[in-house]
Structure 1
Amino acid sequence: MGQIYLVRHGQASFGAANYDQLSELGYEQARLLGQWYANTRQVFHKVITGGMARHRQSADACMAELPKKQLIDTEWITDADFAEFDHHEVLLRHCPEFADAVAFEALLANHVDPPRALEHLFRAAMQRWMSGWHDADYAETWPDFRRRCVRALERLDTDSSGQATIVFTSGGVISTLMQHLLGLQDFQVMELNWTLANCGVTRLLQRTGQFTLSYLNNYAHLEWLGQPGAVTYR
Structure 2
Amino acid sequence: MTTIYLIRHGQASFGAANYDQLSNKGEQQATLLGRYLAKVLKEPPYVYAGTMQRHQQTAQLALAESFPELALKSDQAWNEFHHQQVFAKFDDRFNKPDELKLAILQEKNPRAYLASIFDQAIERWIGNEFDHEYDESWTAFSTRVNGAFDALCADLAEQQPRYSVVFSSGGVISTIVGHLLGLDAKSIFQLNWSIANTSITTIRLKGNDRQLLSLNEHHFIKAENADLLTWI
TM normalised by structure 1 equals 0.91
The aligned runs of 1:183-222 (5 Å cut-off) are 183-222=182-221
Post-superposition shift, 1:59?
A: 0.4
Aligned ranges for residues 34-113 of structure 1 at < 5 Å?
34-66=34-66, 74-101=70-97, 103-104=99-100, 107-108=103-104, 111-113=107-109
* Letter of the structure 2 residue corresponding to residue 146 of structure 1: S
Aligned to 1:142: 138
> CA offsets, 1:29-71, max 9 Å, x none?
1111111122235323321111100001000110111156xx5
Name the aligned partner's letter for residue 123 of structure 2: Q
Q: Match for residue 222 of structure 2?
A: 223
Secondary structure of the residue aligned to 2:214 is: strand
Aligned-pair identity in percent equals: 35
CA distance in 1, matches of 2:104, 2:216: 29
Number of matched pairs: 229
Question: What is the aligned partner in structure 2 of residue 155 from structure 1?
Answer: 151
Which of 117, 120, 123 is 1:124 aligned to?
Answer: 120
Q: Distance in 2 between matches of 1:209 and 1:93?
A: 39
Which has a greater percent of helix?
A: 2
Task: Give the structure-2-normalised TM-score.
Answer: 0.92
Question: Partner of 2:16 in structure 1?
Answer: 16
Structure 1 position 76, deviation (Å): 1.8
Alpha-carbon spacing, 1:188–1:209, altered in 2? closer, same or farther (3 Å): same
SS in 1 for 2:30: helix
Structure 2: runs of 5 or more not aligned: none
- Which position in structure 2 is the counterpart of 1:232? 230
Structure 2 vs 1, CA of residues 133 and 27 (structure 1 numbering), >3 Å: closer, same or farther? same
Q: Decide whether the 8 Å contact of 1:82 with 1:169 is kept in 2.
A: yes
- Per-residue deviation, 1:101: 4.8
Tell me, in whole angstroms, the C-alpha distance in 2 between the residues paired with 1:47 and 1:131.
Answer: 34
